[in-house]
Amino acid sequence: QCQLSGLWRNEHDSLMEISAVRSNGEFQGKYLTRVTLSGGCTCLSPLKGTQQQPGEGEWPTFTFTVHWDKFSNATTAFVGQCFVDTGGKETLTTMWLLREAVGSLEEDWKATR
């Protein structure tokens, strides 16, 4: 069984702490990124998400959003899945989309990474 709650570290040394996952799959937490668009501070940012309750023998899928609080006018949406290897190590795999605010509709093409 893969548990999303707890402290996670990625390959860039960013940290994510997820509180207990509620019975309906919802969770909250904090994200401390070491990678910023502006090259500025590494600030704690709030995250909110939900986990799909896995069926028997399946690994859970999840989604969460991070509002980059105080240092960026952007939001990132993550989707992923949790896996456990034969040694018991839990791993989260994710894909993400980051949306920056832009000043006009003409600039919309460059707002999502």
- Domain locations in the chain? 6-110
Amino acid at 6: G
Residue 36, pLDDT > 90, answer no
Per-residue pLDDT at 67:
87
Residue 13, pLDDT > 70, answer yes
Specify the CATH superfamily of domain 6-110: Avidin-like (2.40.128.30)
C-alpha 21/C-alpha 91 separation (Å) is 17
Per-residue pLDDT at 68:
82
C-alpha 25/C-alpha 111 separation (Å) is 30
Residue 94, pLDDT > 80, answer yes
pLDDT tens sequence across 37-93:
556 666 788 999 999 977 766 788 999 999 887 667 888 999 999 998 999 899 999
Give the residue, 26 or 39, on which the prediction is more confident.
26
pLDDT (average), residues 7-32: 91
DSSP state, 47?
E
Per-residue pLDDT at 37:
55
Exposure string of 44-64, with b = 16+ CB inside 10 Å and e = fewer, is ebebebebeeeeeeeebebeb
Its pTM stands at: 0.83
Per-residue pLDDT at 111:
92
